[in-house]
Amino acid sequence: MGNNGHVLQQALESFTLTICLESVVLVWLFKEFRHVQAVLICCLVNMVTHPVYFTARHHFFPHEYWVIGVAVLEPVVVVIEAWVYRVMIPLPRSKAIFAAVLANAGSLLVGVLSRVIWGTMQGG
């Protein structure tokens, strides 16, 4: 715990999970759009937002403050991703926001659940 490699491993695991989940959500939501391009946009926008989000949350909201970090940073990420989806796919504003909220909420939920389950398994 606490070393550079561990932080990077956490970041990469979280990033991979996020990409997978958000790609599925985008492809599922917008069947008429080219799937490859949807996944590509999802990957690229997450490459922009995820490292910044992850670093900011770990730096400014460590340990038990992570919930506050999520509450502060997730909406920012959702707004950025919704904007990118709106312009690049392109989507109507409401659909873009819906897609970003759904994708990030799903990603966050699965991330938290996996941590809880993994933590329980380790503890048990």
62 lies in the site for another protein, by CB under 8 A: yes
Which region among 7-15, 16-24, 96-104, 106-114 touches another protein (by CB under 8 A)?
Answer: 7-15
CB contact burial 79-105 (16+ within 10 A = b; e otherwise):
ebbbebbbeebebeeebbbebbbbbbe
Six token digits for residue 68: 């506050």
User: Residue 3 CB, nearest distance to another protein (Å)?
Assistant: 5
Q: Work out which of 21, 26, 38, 41 binds another protein, going by CB under 8 A.
A: 41
Query: Which C-beta is closer to another protein: that of 87 or that of 109?
Result: 87
Six token digits for residue 54: 């992850």
DSSP secondary structure letter of residue 31: T
User: What is the CB neighbour count within 10 angstroms for residue 22?
Assistant: 26
Q: Which residues bind another protein (CB under 8 A)?
A: 1-5, 7-8, 11-12, 15, 34, 37, 40-41, 43-52, 54-55, 62-63, 83-84, 86-88
